[in-house]
Structures are given as structure tokens and as C-alpha cells.
Amino acid sequence: MESKRKIFIETHGCQMNFSDSEIVGSILVDDGHELTKDLKEADVILVNTCSIRDNAEIKVRNRLKQFNVLKRNKPGLLVGLLGCMAERVKENLFDEEKILDLIAGPDAYRDLPQLLRKAEGGQKAINLILSADETYADITPVRMDGNGVAAFISIMRGCENFCSYCVVPYTRGTERSRPHLTILKEARELFDKGFRDVTLLGQNVNSYAWEDAGQKVGFAELIASIAEISPMLRVRFATSHPKDISNELIGVIALHPNICRSIHLPVQSGSSRMLWEMNRNYTREWYLDRISAIRKAIPDCMISTDIISGFCGETEEDHKETLSLMENVAFDYAYMFKYSERPNTLAADTKKDDVPEDVKSRRLQEIINFQGELSLESYKRDIGKTFEVLVEGSSKRSKSQLSGRNSQNKMIVFPGAGQEPGDYVMVRIVECTSATLIGELV
């Protein structure tokens, strides 16, 4: 009988990676292994990685150095690298990171049981084959480290946008959508198990498209059908591409109160010239038109974004255009980064990373500082308002306080009074920080 191993899975990067780790966990549990949250008792450590920025890979390599200490003290310990970094660096990882016993790309997770058996036999095991049709649609993910209230549902994989700075199309493969009925089934099962908040995930969810036997289902129809499972089920999605956010989708969100009033719409730059260089396939004017359409149909919608500072050829005027767009939109929240050249992308192959590092840092700090002001103003505007809050659990700072999110995806902390995770409560906001609303039960 083959040995049952205790598997520790560590996830780096985005929500998609977290969802993938749950798929990996399900595959390995079905193969007879056991998941553990205790690193010290693990027989196998699997690191699910991100390659979108150089810093993400540096963190992974530093983590592998820490695992090396564990491996010296436990010679039978196996260490594997999964995901985008594995797909990008490929076989060279075995030479660069001697600790590794196995490597698997994002479309090779079904092969993990075989890869583990090969690694147990002392061989280096690897599978980096990208698939044109793998969606893991038939696998029910294990729900790891969750609160039993919120869950992710991966609805599509891959990307074909080929933004010039981005490595994802090369590490995640071609765009493909899961059959809509498998997504609906997963959402219903989650609701029946007590989950009350689901997030639909994809590199570009609003390009979701399923077609079979003449039946076509787009993202607007899909999210509407999930919202109709129950008014008690909140539905979120990430991430949208501005070129694809349609009036139809905006109308569906406005029509269904339980589709959350929160849209993450990465802009990357406020300069049309930079957007062209980034191959984003929209202009500043297009983006602002989409924002206007959202504000008109869903006045209470929270809008967050991604911004890259210092992309190839960015001038001071381009930077000022980003700041002016931020002021125009008044983003509630933003993820902000310096440009990090990724090997083998269009930008790395055809453009010069010519913005000095100190200029990148200064521009990024200006963006961060300004967004801090915008976020604080956004939260201040909520003081005095009352929101329906889905209880997620105790506050991190005090067990006597509960925390949860409103439809706008803002975290709210308030005194508890016997509520349980999964309950809906009405909370009036009395004060705030730039990242948290503080309220009282109504």
C-alpha cells in the first residue's frame, strides 16, 4: 500500500492561485493524502507561485531557502514548486533551486499524484504542459483556511490579452471557460453548505464565453443565474478588463441587489499613450466612459483599480495624467506597483525599461500618497450610513468585536452581540480609518 503523506500547501500571489491551491488539495486528498496546516509535520511542501512581478519570485526563492533548513533535518521531505513561476522558469529551476523534487505548471495538477510517486523514488519530477481545454471543471475544491462564509469559484483559465508587460498569457495558456452548469452546481453546493459569499475568478472574467450545441452563455448571463440561486447569496467577481465591461453586464449588476456593488477595474495608466504601449486596447476616454456608465447605473458602486508606475517610456506628463485620472474617478482602493520587467514579454523583447529606478519610486510614492487621501475620503463619506454586513468572524484585534464586509467590499468592525459567521446584520458607521469602517449594530 502506498504511503499516505501529509501535504502542506503554501500559496503566493493572487486569488486565482488560492483557488488553484484548493484544486491541488482536492486532487491530493482524493489520491489518499492528507492536508496539514502544520509545516513541521509535513511530508510534502508545495509552493504555489506567482510570476507577475520580480518581487513575487524573489519571495518564493527566499522561502525555499527557509525550507532547506527543514529538509536538512528531515531527509525524506519533498518540496515542489507549482504555478506560474514553474511555467516561466521551467527545467532551469532544478539547477537553480537544488531543494526542489518536483515542478508542475498550472495545467498539470491532475498529474501531481504521479509526480509525487516519481519524486518519492528519488527522481526529479516535472510536468509543464499547457492545455487548451483544462478547466478542472469536474473537481470540487477543498476549502482551505476559509471562514466557511466566503469562497472562490474559478470560472475560466488562461488569458489572450497579451498586455505588453504581462507574463500571464505565457504561464497560464490560452483562454478557456468552464461549462456554465458546472459553475452553477458548485455555487449551489456552496450555498447549501452555508457559504454566503462567492467570488467568480478569472484572468478576465467578463470575457467568459461558453458554447455547446448551439447554446451560448456569456458572463452577464452566468452571473445573473448565480445571483438567482438565492437573495442570501452574495456574488462578486474578479478581475474585469475595461475593454470588455459591457452595458449589459452593468445592467445585470444594477438589477440584482445581491451582486455586490464592487468592481475591480484595472486601469494601469491614465495616459492613452501609455495604454497603447501597454497594449491595453482602450484609451483614457474609453475607461472614463465605462466609469461614467457604472456610476450612472450603480451610484453606490465601489471601484478599485491597479496602477503601474514607470512603464517603458513614461514621461512626467504621462504620470500627471495618471494622477488626474485618479482624481477624476476617485478610486476607493488601488493596488499600486512599480513596473517590473518580466522576461520574454512583449515589453522585454521590444521596449527599453528606461525610467530610472529613483523616478519610478518617486512617482509610485506620489500615487500611493494620493490614493491614501482618496481612500480616506471614500471611507469618511460612509460615516452616518447604515449597511447590511455579512459577518465573517471576530475582528483581528479583539474577540469582542466582529468583522464583515458590506456589498461595497469594505471591511467593517463592530461590537458583537451573539451573531455567528454567515449572519447578516445592519450596522451604522460611526468612524473610520483609510481601510476600515467602524460601526455599531442597528
pLDDT in tens, the chain (442 residues): 357 899 999 999 888 999 999 999 999 999 999 999 999 999 999 999 998 888 899 999 999 999 999 999 998 999 999 999 999 999 899 999 999 999 999 999 999 999 999 999 999 999 999 999 999 999 999 988 678 999 999 999 999 999 999 999 999 999 999 999 999 999 999 999 999 999 999 999 999 999 988 889 999 999 999 999 999 999 999 989 999 999 999 999 999 999 999 999 999 999 999 999 999 999 999 999 999 999 999 999 999 999 999 999 999 999 999 999 999 999 999 999 999 999 999 999 999 999 999 999 999 999 999 999 999 999 999 999 999 999 999 988 787 899 999 999 999 999 987 899 999 999 999 999 989 999 999 9
pLDDT at 310: 98
Cα–Cα dist 7/307, whole Å = 36
What pLDDT is attached to residue 1?
37
CA atoms of 328 and 389, how far apart (whole Å): 29
φ, ψ for residue 225, nearest 5 deg: -65, -35
**Predicted local distance difference test score (pLDDT) of residue 398:** 80
The DSSP call for residue 3 is P
Using DSSP's 3-state secondary structure scheme, residue 379 falls into helix
pLDDT at 177 (0 to 100): 96
Hey, how many other C-beta atoms are within 10 angstroms of the C-beta on 192? 10
- The per-residue pLDDT for 2 is 57
- Domains (ranges, CATH) in the chain? 6-127 (3.40.50.12160), 150-380 (3.80.30.20), 386-441 (2.40.50.140)
Q: Cell 491595453, residue?
A: 280
Q: Count of CB atoms within 10 A of residue 352's CB? A: 10
Nearby residues of 16 by Cβ (< 8 Å), 6 or more positions away: 154, 201, 202, 203
pLDDT value, residue 418: 84
Helical ranges in 77-233 per DSSP H: 84-89, 92-96, 112-120, 168-172, 180-192, 219-227
Alpha helices in 298-404 (DSSP H): 316-329, 346-350, 357-380
8 A C-beta contact, residue 359 and residue 403: no
